[in-house]
Each structure stands twice: as structure tokens, then as C-alpha cells.
Amino acid sequence: MAHYEPILHVVLYQPEIPHNTGAVGRTCVAVGAKLWLVRPLGFRITSRHLKRAGLDYWQYLEWEAVDDWSALEKALSGKRFWYFTKTATTLFWDVSYAPGDVLVFGSESQGLPASLLAAHREACLRIPIRSQVRSLNLSVSVAVAAYEAIRQLGWHAAPG
């Protein structure tokens, strides 16, 4: 597959469940985003569950795993980061996304570290849900956010 500049970057910070990561990978292929995985991971990259959830799309996925948060920041230096958390006050559709933006999601059980959220409070976004629901599935959250971003950017902006 030819290299392209992805329209978005999707970051999973220490994901724990391979099925979710596989489903996020499929969404990234669908919208033209690059997937970043920040270690430690709760599974092996070679996990059959990971590839099974991504089905036969994994071969088209542009992705990279990094050892820690500082390695990610170095790799994506100069990009604008958005941090998704249920504790944010700004709704995810109330910001203007730009090509190359980075959408950051925490692990399934812990979310993003409080220190990271506190350091970037102005860039924290929330997907609204009713009080009867504790949280959305990670892969659903990524899909909702990624599709809002490309809706704003115009579908024609997605490569391929």
C-alpha cells in the first residue's frame, strides 16, 4: 500500500481488549486514519482476536505501536491533540477538526490518566450519553468521533 498522509490519527492509550483494537483498526481503514497504540498493551499485536476483529482489513491499516507517551508525542510533534473523556465539559461536535488532528482514547478500564487530562483540559472532549449508561465501548467511541471529524473535514478529504 502506498504511503499517504492520514486525514486523522487515532491513539489508543494502553488498550486492553484485542477485539476493540481490531474494530478500531477497521474504522481507521474506513476513514483513512492512522492508528497508534501506546504500550503496554493488554494483548499481543499478533493476537488472533485482534486480527479477527479487524477481519481482512488489517492488511490495509496504517498503524504503529510506541513504547510510551513521550515517544508518541515525539512522533506526532506539531499535531493538535484531542483527548476523549467522560469528565470533559466540551462536547466533541463543538470543536472544529483539522486534517492531521490526533484523537486520543484511554484504556477500556481506566480511561486516560488524570495527569494527562489535567495538563490538556482545554483539549478534552466528551461524547454525550444518558446517565443510565456508564460509558460507550471504546471502538464505538472512536467511530463516533472519527466520523464527526471527517464529516466536518468533508468526506472527499479522506484518502483512497
The rounded distance, in Å, linking the Cα atoms of 157 and 99 is: 8
Core vs surface per residue 32-55: b (16+ CB within 10 A) or e: bbbbbbbeebebeeebeebbebbe
Q: Tell whether 70 is in a known binding site.
A: no
CA torsion sign for 14, 19, 20, 21 is: positive
CA gap 133, 71 in Å, rounded: 34
Q: Is 111 annotated as a binding residue?
A: no
User: Any binding-site annotation on 127?
Assistant: yes
Residues that constitute the known binding site for S-adenosyl-L-methionine:
106, 127, 135
Residues that constitute the known binding site:
106, 127, 135
